[in-house]
A and B are shown apart, each in its own frame.
Chain A
Amino acid sequence: MAKKNKKSRWIDRMNGWLSDEQGALEREMEAAQEQAAAPDIEKLSPAELRWAQEEQEEEKRIEAAMHTWTEKKALPFARALYNLLCVGICVTMIALLLYTVTTLPAFGDPNHPINNEVSARYIEKGLQETGAVNIVTGMILDYRAFDTLGESSVLFTAAMVVLFLLRKDKDSARYSQLAQTMDQNPHSDTYYEPKNDIILQKTATILVPIVLLLGVYVVLNGHLSPGGGFSGGAIMGAGLILYVTAFGFDKMRRFFTYKTYQRVVLVALLTYAISKCYSFYTGANHIESIIPLGTPGAILSSGLILVLNICVGFIVACTMYCFYAVFRKGEL
């Protein structure tokens, strides 16, 4: 009995730790943060008061300067010089680059340096070695999969930065007020946006399933026909954006919330990274990979490429929708 109790306490503590329940150090930090946010004016010494005022004034000055710098007429000479230099540098760059292009090998020339053993192998052995009928997919997801893993991480990075900057968090003290007044504020975009537009809704009812199906088709056929994860994912993302424009965020949230986004991207990127771990490790250590390539042309073929395409498709679709939602409303 005692043992069981102990175990459950251990689990409780584990859960508390995972859900960021506060320890002594964090509590102190939190207190310091609140103190900094709303200083108790009566308790401050004159020096502290002056320092706090100076800081506030500087913040205000910067904010004012940020909004009015386009209208300032001061320093006309500096502005003229700035414009002149801008135009000068741009024109020089354009002229220089155009001139460089004229000295490059002609496009489509059979003796062009890019027609070498690298592209020859891609074209001649691509199908045999990767099992993908679409050579481009074979190149980006098998021959040069490390670059593509990097590209998917670029999307992930961009999504994280945008979420950090724009997402209004209900739990956060900084944004709760802003989020409440957002919809009633006549200056915000959401105030004027059309709600329940009948033409848009009927069109979307017909189009959204077709668009999503097309996206799924492009992703799944990425190794057989032109397309793949990036293009198919963009189509699916467009479908989601059309749906949310027509029916609003409340309906969207029935099946797609911030949590859904987090989990989908987590699973997709983890699958990508772990499957590539396996293939990089076996490749570099010259171990035979156990993943079969299948019959070229069949839907279940070309080894990991199909799986990777699906992962990339999910990442791209979710990231596109996330960008739209966060830029438009500040939440998913």
Chain B
Amino acid sequence: MHFVQNFPFFCILLTLICAVVTSVLKGRPARWLTMSLITVVTAMTVCVLGYTLATGDSYVYMMGHFPAPWGNEIRIGVIEALMMTVFCFVTLFSFIGGMVPSIREIEKTKYNIYCILVDLVFLALQALVYTNDIFTAYVFIEINTLAAAGLVMMRQKGRNLVAGVRYMIMNLVGSSLFLLGISILYTITGHLLMANIHEGVAALAESGEYQIPLTIVVALVTVGLSLKSALYPFEKWLPGAYSNATPTVAAMLSSLVSKGYIFLLIKFYVRVIGFDIICSLGVLDVLFVFGVLGMIMGSVSAVRAKTTRLMIAYSSVAQIGYIFTALGLRSEIGIVCALWHSAAHAATKSMLFVSCAEMDDACGGTHLRKHLRGAFYHSPLLALAFSLGALNLTGVPLLSVFMTKITLTQAAIEVGGRHMGIVLGAVAISTLLNAVYFLGTAMTLFIPTKEGDEVLPPTVRKNPFTTVGLVGLMALNLAMGLFSQPFLSALAEGLTRFA
């Protein structure tokens, strides 16, 4: 066994150990420990990515002395390593980029708890991406939900508490539906390990037994996980939670927590149940319809949003709509597109949240769009980062979301029929709306202020952390845009061995 194969396990345990140690540390050591932890984990994940790309195959890592159906195991392939690498970079740069606002906004004596919860969300994300056992997935969903709800309430203002309670309730409903689903699945197949459930389900499909419970399981898990990842009709908890949180938290929630659930859902479809059976059940059509609705309704809400942060939060709804639409196309390219967009959106949205929050501070702690006028002239880096994100989400060529739109339309054209028309129409409308609100805001930043305009003094000074974080995120976005083709082909290649 190659030593690199141990790295995912090291990452998981190291993150847990750091979270525990942070509970006795004060603010600054906690901060540095978390930062070094994320850096180390990122480095290790890059090594794992190199290893999996070199071998091209996925491998199973036994967690303990007993092989899989008896013990636990994790499984790492190209897709897992690739997604995890992007998620690690996003966590690292949004933690660094949002450091100064977090110090300012979070109560000083409880700052270490913020670091602990960041660690725990990161831990749960790694475990969700790597796990090959459906019950382990549930355990880490619990950790993810609790830690994320704590993070939403980090600022302890009235709005955060309301948003946090709402987040908690909606997400617990989602977790419990997922738990019901996997317990019924265990009853009809007798297994918790994904590979064994797959065999069991295939046998059931052949014999025609237990078709009703199987349908119910797929429905419960789908509804549970799409509720947790804010698919359109279930998105009511999202704007409050994202727009009032401290920037790192907003970035992590929008780009990591919800993506972890989407990744798990894709894994559930492809590896646990089998994509052919899922296609025959009709659940993907439901996802398709709500995905398309989300693409449009999210953008409409974003156009009407009063503050920039709320606008970015609503745009998440639209982007998650893209992911589910791609999934709903019932094709392999659709899954590749969904995975790609999860990564692309994670990188872009975190950059938007971090830059926007700090731009608000640079413009006098305001949240309103009109006060951002001329921001480019006093804080050019923030404005550039925001504009890059805005251009990206609008779908400008050479950037990552453009590739999503291309792949999505390609997939739709391959599928043909009604799907094609609907997707083309929805992409067109959504792109138009994206352009209206994102480019509109981005242009405000470059319009110089006139004589007599209200100009508020900045509430924070420029600092190195923000610069490092934002430059990192911009580099990540540009890299993903420029090297999208190898990334997509690696995903497509990995998907053949994902099941």
Check if B456 sits within 8 Å of A48, measured CB to CB. yes
Q: Are B63 and A146 closer than 8 Å at their CB atoms?
A: yes
Q: Mark B209-225, 1 if CB is under 8 A from A, else 0.
A: 01011001000000000
Chain B residues within an 8 Å CB radius of A174: 107, 156
- Contact in complex: B23, A66 (CB < 8 Å): no
Give Cα distance in the complex from A272 to B1, angstroms.
25
A23 contact set on B, CB distance < 8 A: 28
CB <8 Å contact, A104 and B213 = yes
* Contacts known (A63-B158, A153-B16); A147 close to B26, Cβ less than 8 A: no
Return the contact of B149 from the options A19, A149, A161, A280 (Cβ within 8 A).
Answer: A161
Complex contact A104–B187 (CB within 8 A): yes
B120 touches A157 (CB 8 A): yes
In the complex, the chain B residue whose C-beta lies closest to that of A33 is B104
Which residues 110-152 in A have Cβ within 8 Å of B in the complex? Answer: 112-118, 121-122, 129, 142-147, 149-151
Contacts of B64 in A (CB 8 A): 142-143, 145-146, 279-280, 283-284
Asked if B72 contacts A26 (CB within 8 A), the reply is no
Interface: B389 (CB within 8 A): no
Docked pose: A29 CA to B189 CA in angstroms: 56
Pairwise interchain contact A284-B29, C-beta atoms closer than 8 A: no
Residues of B contacting A105 with CB < 8 Å?
A: 187-188, 210
Query: Shortest distance in angstroms between B90's beta carbon and chain A's nearest beta carbon?
Result: 21
Check B104 against A154 for contact (C-beta < 8 Å): no
Q: For the complex, what is the distance from the CA of A266 to the CA of B18, rounded to whole Å?
A: 11
* Known contacts A160-B150, A172-B109, A277-B13: A113-B200 contact under CB 8 Å: yes
Contact with A along B288-299 (1 / 0, CB 8 A): 000000000000
A270 to B21, CA, bound (A): 8
Closest to A303 in B: B65
CB of B24 closer than 8 Å to a CB of A:
yes
Give Cα A154 to B124, complex, Å: 10
**Of residues 1 to 49 in A, which have CB atoms within 8 Å of B's CB atoms?**
17-20, 23, 25-26, 28-30, 32-33, 35-36, 45, 47-48
A163 CB–B CB distance under 8 Å? yes
Cα separation A314 to B69 with both chains bound (whole Å) = 30
Closest to B104 in A: A29
The answer to whether A113 touches B23 (Cβ under 8 A) is no
Q: Are B63's CB and A280's CB within 8 A?
A: yes
Chain B, residue nearest A261 (CB): B23
Chain B contact patch, size range = 35 or more
Contact B23 A160 (CB under 8 A): yes
Residues from chain A with Cβ under 8 Å of B354 in the complex = none
B146 pairs with A161, CB closer than 8 A? yes
Once the chains bind, are A118 and B70 in contact (CB under 8 Å)? yes
User: Which of B132-140, B430-438, B483-491 is the contact stretch?
Assistant: B132-140
List, in ascending order, chain A residues with CB within 8 A of B191's CB.
Answer: 116, 118
Cβ < 8 Å to A, chain B residues 1-56: 1, 6, 9, 13, 16-17, 19-21, 23-29
Q: Are B459 and A36 in contact (CB under 8 A)?
A: yes
Do B20 and A17 have beta carbons less than 8 Å apart?
Answer: no
CA distance A104 to B26 in the complex (A): 53
Q: Is A103 in contact with B213, judged by CB distance below 8 angstroms?
A: yes
Interface check A97, CB cutoff 8 A: yes
- Minimum CB–CB distance from B73 to chain A (whole Å) comes to 9
Considering only residues 211-255 of chain B, those with a C-beta below 8 Å from chain A are 212-213, 216
Question: A33 vs B103: C-alpha distance in the bound complex, in angstroms?
Answer: 9
Tell me, in angstroms, the Cα distance from A77 to B25 when the chains sit together: 53
How many whole Å from A88's CB to the nearest CB in chain B?
A: 15
Are A103 and B212 touching (Cβ within 8 A)? yes
User: Do residues B9 and A51 form an inter-chain contact, with CB atoms below 8 A?
Assistant: no
B117 pairs with A160, CB closer than 8 A: yes
Q: Taking CB as reference atom, which chain A residue is nearest B110?
A: A164
Contacts of B213 in A (CB 8 A): 100, 103-104
Interface centre among A116, A143, A150, A280 (most CB of B within 10 A): A150
Which listed residue (A51, A113, A277) contacts B187, Cβ 8 A? A113
B116 touches A62 (CB 8 A): no
CB-CB under 8 A from B450, the residues of chain A are none
- Give CA–CA (A299, B28) in the complex, Å: 44
How far apart sit A284 and B461, CA to CA, in the bound complex (Å)?
50
Assess whether B28 is in contact with A20, with CB atoms less than 8 Å apart.
Answer: yes
State the CA gap A269–B71 with chains docked (Å): 21
Among A48, A114, A164, A277, contact of B113 (Cβ-Cβ < 8 Å): A164
Asked whether A289 is an interface residue with its Cβ less than 8 Å from the other chain, the reply is yes
Chain A contacts for B154, CB-based, 8 A:
164
> Separation in Å of the A62 CB from the closest CB of chain B?
5
Q: Is the CB of B158 within 8 A of A163?
A: no
Chain B residues near A97 (CB, 8 Å)?
180, 216
Q: Is the pair B24, A266 in contact by a Cβ cutoff of 8 Å?
A: yes
Tell me the nearest residue of chain B to A97, going by C-beta: B180
Given the known A-B contacts A146-B64, A154-B142, are A25 and B113 also in contact in the complex, defined by CB atoms under 8 Å?
A: no
Residue contact B70 to A143, C-beta cutoff 8 Å: yes
Q: Are A150 and B127 in contact (CB under 8 A)?
A: yes
Asked if B461 and A28 sit within 8 Å, CB to CB, the answer is: yes
Within 8 Å of chain B (Cβ to Cβ): is A96? yes
Residue pair B188, A104 in contact (C-beta under 8 Å): yes
Across the interface, which residues of A come within 8 angstroms of B117, CB to CB?
157, 160-161, 164
Is A165's CB within 8 Å of the partner chain B?
yes
> In the complex, what residues of A have CB within 8 A of residue B120's CB?
153, 157, 160
Q: How far is the CA of A19 from the CA of B100 in the complex (A)?
A: 19
The CA-CA distance from A28 to B463 in the complex, in Å, is 11
B143 within 8 A of A: yes
Which of A29, A262, A269 contacts B103 (CB under 8 A)? A29
Q: Which residues of B contact A289 (CB under 8 A)?
A: 65
Asked if B275 CB lies within 8 Å of chain A CBs, one says no
Min CB distance, A8 to chain B, in Å? 20
28 examples of A-B residue contacts, CB within 8 angstroms: A20-B28, A25-B103, A25-B463, A47-B454, A48-B457, A62-B159, A62-B162, A96-B216, A99-B212, A104-B210, A121-B70, A143-B71, A145-B64, A145-B72, A147-B136, A149-B16, A153-B16, A156-B19, A160-B117, A164-B154, A165-B153, A169-B110, A265-B20, A266-B21, A274-B17, A283-B71, A284-B61, A284-B62
Pick the 5 closest A-B CB pairs, nearest first: A113-B190, A20-B26, A161-B150, A150-B139, A283-B65
Given contact pairs A116-B191, A146-B64, enumerate 7 new A-B contacts (beta carbons under 8 Å): A147-B133, A150-B127, A157-B142, A172-B108, A174-B156, A266-B20, A279-B64
Q: Which residues of B contact A (CB under 8 A)?
A: 1, 6, 9, 13, 16-17, 19-21, 23-29, 61-66, 69-72, 100, 103-104, 107-110, 113, 116-117, 120, 123, 127, 133, 135-136, 139-140, 142-143, 146-147, 149-150, 153-154, 156-159, 162, 180, 184, 186-191, 200, 210, 212-213, 216, 364-366, 454-457, 459-461, 463
